[in-house]
Amino acid sequence: MKPFDLTGRVAIVTGGNGGIGLGMARGLAEAGASVAIAGRDAAKGAAAAASLGERAVFLAADLTDQGACVALVAQTLARFGRLDILVNNAGTNLRKRPEEYSAAEWHGLIDTNLTSAFFCAQAAYPAMRQAGGGKIICIGSMMSIFGASHVSVYAATKGGIVQLARALAAAWAADNIQVNTVLPGWIDTALTRGARTDLPGLNERVLARTPAGRWGVPEDLAGIAVFLASAASDFVTGTAIPVDGGYSVQG
């Protein structure tokens, strides 16, 4: 038995057209999986899918819409015939003090980061149950553990996704579906590049606080994706695993 082998498996990676999602999708593809990457930006998606090779496809979807989550699963099943792995990675942030958010901004962040994960998991469940099992990987954040003044809504979504994964893990364990969350530390992507520019001193603070002494890169998330998507993690469910260069353990 090769515990990390994903040959013949089919994965959906939401937001897999860039950043952490693409790093995870690459890990899954290199381990043998066929991968459907989903996002809104078709040009970015086509380039990302091409870089993953023949067993990858880009599917355009705005996952704030429940119907789009259902369609994403249906299109993946039509293309590849089965679904074994769902990575709920699509997400965004909007930095403001709590008193400054509008209702629309609150709902936009909740829908993108949390509601999409729930509806994608709900859409994926019948196919996974039919396949005899499955793996759902959610993406939290250091803001699943800590708080900070300008990320109240983001932190609510990232705390919520850990609890969502735990509840799904409990509900679907009998169907042999494992559900876990990855908590990335500071990773160099489009999302954090903006923050690095906007927040003077952020780069230095991240470097000083991270024992590994560097920012993460999307490729740092490939290994955990393969582990949590493969038979190697069949007795691991409902947990949240930091991949943070030690950021969350530094006193």
Among the listed residues 11, 147, 180, the one whose alpha carbon sits nearest the alpha carbon of residue 84: 11
Residue 154 is among the residues annotated as catalytic for this protein: yes
Judged by CB under 6 A, the stretch of 55-63, 79-87, 120-128, 234-242 that binds ligand NDP is 55-63
Provide the minimum distance between the beta carbon of 21 and ligand NDP in the complex, in angstroms, as a whole number: 5
Grouping H, G, I as helix, E, B as strand and the rest as coil, residue 142 is helix
Tell me which of 101, 125, 154, 247 is the catalytic residue. 154
With residue 136 as reference, give the H or E element that holds it: strand 134-139
Among the listed residues 188, 172, 189, the one whose alpha carbon sits nearest the alpha carbon of residue 180: 172
If one asks whether residue 20 binds ligand NDP (CB under 6 A), the answer comes out as yes
Q: Whose Cβ is closer to ligand NDP: residue 85's or residue 187's?
A: 187
Alpha carbons 129 and 18: distance in angstroms, whole number? 29
Among the listed residues 34, 76, 115, 141, the single contact to ligand NDP using CB under 6 A: 141
103, amino acid identity: A
Grouping H, G, I as helix, E, B as strand and the rest as coil, residue 70 is helix
Among the listed residues 4, 47, 62, 131, the single contact to ligand NDP using CB under 6 A: 62
Q: Whose Cβ is closer to ligand NDP: residue 5's or residue 41's?
A: 41
Grouping H, G, I as helix, E, B as strand and the rest as coil, residue 87 is strand
Alpha carbons 60 and 37: distance in angstroms, whole number? 8
Q: Whose Cβ is closer to ligand NDP: residue 34's or residue 189's?
A: 189
Among the listed residues 4, 5, 44, 70, the single contact to ligand NDP using CB under 6 A: 44
Per CB under 6 A, which of residues 169..208 are in contact with ligand NDP?
184, 186-187, 189-192
Catalytic residues: 154
